[in-house]
Structures are given as structure tokens and as C-alpha cells.
Amino acid sequence: MQLLGRVDYDATYAAMRESTQARTPASPDQLWLCEHPPVYTQGLAGKADHVLNPGDIPVVQTDRGGQVTFHGPGQVVAYPLIDLKRAGYYVKEYVYRIEEAVIRTLAHFGVTGHRVGGAPGIYVRLDDPFSHAALSGPMHPADPFRGLGKIAALGIKVSRHCTYHGVALNVAMDLEPFARINPCGYAGLQTVDLSTIGVRTTWDEAAQVLGHKLAIYLAP
């Protein structure tokens, strides 16, 4: 686990790709934890019209899955660089394991995280983020995120069985830039962080907890 601190997105993206391309079957897996200066990143299938008003925040086209998201200070971004063939599980389970690590990280802070079918990432109840009740009944067809806020976004890339990109957990950040996009391609999806739902923690503590949970849940 490497805590990189605040690092430029473009340089980190380039380093991830270079590290992945240079890997051999003997290369050790890595986990990078960092935060970025304000930047919008667009996924491979990302639609330009989901970027509503970026203003002076740069928009970077990437090779990960998913749609547009925002990275900024106060967000823990985790980049697992893992050989899935060696780990012994497939992409679908990899995504599940990342989400489970985020759910367990939130639980550490007393928050209940939820999955929403077909929408990777982790969500919390806006009315009671500390409620342990499961999401019940079918989601509202016109608004599958009714009553929910997104607290963690996930976008990955797998090349020759090896992963890069990863997951971003919102800790205590300026959330306004999320209003200038359709987060992850969903118009009006509310984005929250630990701070806005009443959890007081530091970036370092959240990074350590998330890193520890990812190390456990991504283990072979």
C-alpha cells in the first residue's frame, strides 16, 4: 500500500498504464492511494453531453469504463494494480470485492453503504445514512436513486488480466463540481461525502481504512 498524497491526475494515469504494460507474471501487485487536484475524468464510453459546465476544471479522456466523474481534494482515490489471473478471480468478482471493501470502510465510520443494481459504486440513504435497513422493494423506474446519494464511484480497466484505475471515496471535499456534470451518466444524481452526512475524519484516516479493507478483500 502506497500513500502518494496529492498528485497530478495525468501523471498518475500515465504511471498506471506504464506500470501495467511493464508487468510480468512475477510483478508484485500494488495499491496506490492518493488525491488529485480538481479534474473531471471521462470513461471510454462517456458521452460528452454529460459534461454540462466544466468551467476551468480540466476534462481528461481516459481508457477506464464508466462515464464522467470528478476528482478533487478531500477524496481518497484507490488504484489497485492487480494480476487477476494470479489472484484467481474474474472482473465481475473484482468489482464486487472493491465495492465490499468500500462498504466495510463506511461501516468502520458507522455508515451503511448500498449497492444499486446496474450502477457500480456505493450509495447511502440521504435521510438516514446510519440506518442498517436494506434497500427494500423495487427501485423507482423513473428515479432509481430516489433518496440515495453516491459516496463512492468506481471505474476500472483490465489489460492482459491486470487492473488499473479504481475507486474514489468522497471524504470531505467541495461537492459543487459534481453539479456541473451528470455524475457517472445520471442526471440529477446527488453526490455526498462523509463530511456532509456527519462523519468527521481525516483524509489520512479514511485512506488507511480503505487501503486496509482493499488489501483484505482483494487478496487471492
The Cα–Cα gap between 81 and 214 comes to 12
Q: How confident is the model at residue 142 (pLDDT cuts 50, 70, 90)?
A: low
Unique residue bearing C-alpha cell 464510453: 45
Lowest mean pLDDT, pick from 33-37, 69-73, 79-83, 188-192 = 188-192
pLDDT of residue 138: 56
pLDDT of residue 139: 59
pLDDT of residue 141: 61
pLDDT tens string 21-41: 999 999 999 999 999 999 999
The architecture of the domain spanning 2-217 is: 2-Layer Sandwich (3.30)
Q: How confident is the model at residue 184 (pLDDT cuts 50, 70, 90)?
A: confident
DSSP conformational letter for 181: B
Q: Enumerate the active-site residues.
A: 184
What is the layout of strands, in order, in the sheet containing 39-42? 59-61, 39-42, 69-71
pLDDT of residue 117: 86
Q: How confident is the model at residue 137 (pLDDT cuts 50, 70, 90)?
A: low
pLDDT of residue 55: 97
The Cα–Cα gap between 166 and 65 comes to 10
Whole-number CA gyration radius for the chain: 16
Half-sphere exposure of 150 (CA within 13 A, CB side): 27
Domain segments of the chain: what residues?
A: 2-217
Lowest mean pLDDT, pick from 9-18, 67-76, 118-127, 149-158 = 118-127
Chain mean pLDDT for the chain: 95
The Cα–Cα gap between 113 and 122 comes to 6
Residue among 161, 155, 207, 206 nearest 29 (CA): 161
Q: Express as a percent the part of the chain with pLDDT over 90.
A: 87
